[in-house]
Structure 1
Amino acid sequence: MGAIRELSEKREKLQAFINAQKALISCPRRLHTDLLENIFLACLPAGGISVIRRNSVMSAHVAPLLLCRICSSWRKATMSMPRLWASLHIPVDFILARDTRASAVDNWLKRAAACPLSLSVWDNMKRWQWGETLHSEDDMLALAKSLRTHSLWWHDVVFTDPSPHMAQTLREIDQAPNLASFTLHGSTFLATEPKLLNSPSLRTVNLFSHDDLNIVLEIPLVAWQQLTQLDLQSGSGISGTSGSLSPEV
């Protein structure tokens, strides 16, 4: 009898603990979807009152993926909120280290639907410059084509040292109507005219070339009068034009 009583007491304590946790999550489950979305947005890297722009990362330890692990109702809600998936930081080596991550990037951007996208793509110039290819050309091209598929919704994009394969695919983009800000650190992208710099929405251009500044200055931009910020720099540290521009310039 003593053993049964002891087990019953343990069960009651466990049940009391479970009931307390249920009480904590019952209130959030009753929140209106709009309010819940605002709370979730504040959980993102650049959420709340932060003035520093940071894109989301593909990690289960931070939002939005972390929110999918709380409970089934939050997972369902998170998956149905496009704005939660409208930004992504893409370190190429990390993404291509596993086959599933490349497809995960595409699925991530698909969840963003038609929301303006903020993307930062980071590659290692020294690796591909010296022929240290860690990934196949097919994998690199597949990732680049996946990004190109969503170019209609690009809003703010940053590319750091894109590989020649990535750069070639991106140079073929001729439709990026919502692109407002474009930043490039590297050289390969500048080998020929990047058509996406002719976006009618483009306002900010930052080009940091490892080569001579003249390569940067020769890039044709259709509508200079659209730009409000232009920063051109060469590998020598010499800046071309830097700062803010008025529409009349």
Structure 2
Amino acid sequence: LQTNGAPLDTQRDEVRSLLVEPKAELAAVENDIDDLQARLADCQRRKRELISYVEDLGALLSPIRRMPPEIMARIFEFCGDIGARGPHAEPSKRAPLLLGSVCRSWRALSLAIPRLWTTLYLRLPTSGPFVKQQEILQAWLERSRPFPISL
């Protein structure tokens, strides 16, 4: 190791025999690393699962779950008016859709509040059939009944 010269035949044999043990130890260490990396990946996966489970359980204790539907309905109605301040302000365009996409109970509640569906922003294409827009308008009209709808 202290010279750059080529080893003699006897030295080569000695070096080969000296390499056997460190190569075996290196292979063992690499196996240990592979095992530890697999264990680490398993622990990280388990951690993600536990975090998700803890969050799900924590959500069960959320105060909003104890809120009476009547109060939630009033809050939802105000959400439709977000931004509607001043003479030229418009209510939130997507409030009914956003509220209804949170969870099953919020969807049911939002569908049960006709006032939430009284404003519709509908962009009509410049040409072609308006089938999709007709379907949207029909759904909005049904959901806003008995209140008039603003386009």
Given the two structures, how large is their TM-score scaled by the length of structure 2?
A: 0.58
Gaps of 5+ in 1: 121-249
Asked if the contact 1:85–1:111 (Cα under 8 Å) also holds between the matched residues in 2, the reply is yes
Cα distance in 1, alignment partners of residues 120 and 114 from structure 2:
13
1:34 pairs with 2:74: no
- 1:119 to 2:150 alignment: yes
The structure where strand makes up a greater share of residues is: 1
TM-score normalised over the length of structure 1: 0.38
Structure 2 unpaired stretches of 5+: 1-34
CA distance in 2, matches of 1:29, 1:79: 18
1:11-160 equivalence runs, <5 A: 11-20=46-55, 23-24=58-59, 26-44=62-80, 46-47=81-82, 50-52=85-87, 53-55=89-91, 57=93, 62-93=94-125, 99-115=131-147, 117-120=148-151
Which structure 1 residue ranges, 4+ long, deviate > 6 Å from structure 2? none
- Residues 10-62 of structure 1: CA deviation (Å, up to 9, x unaligned): 32234224532553474323311111112212222x337734452553xxxx3
Q: Distance in 2 between matches of 1:104 and 1:69?
A: 16
Q: 1:51 to 1:37 in 2, by over 3 A?
A: farther
Structure (1 or 2) with the larger CA radius of gyration:
2
What percent of counterpart residues are identical? 24
Q: Name the CA shift for 1:118/1:56 in 2 (closer, same or farther; >3 Å).
A: farther
Q: By percentage of residues, which structure has more helix?
A: 2
Is the contact made by 2:141 and 2:149 (CA closer than 8 Å) also made in structure 1?
A: no
Q: Is the 8 A contact 1:84 1:112 kept in 2?
A: yes
Q: Does the 8 Å contact 1:88/1:119 carry over to 2?
A: yes
Q: Secondary structure at the match of 1:92?
A: coil
Q: RMSD value over aligned CA atoms?
A: 3.0
Count the aligned residue pairs: 113
Higher RCO (Cα < 8 Å, 6 or more apart): 2
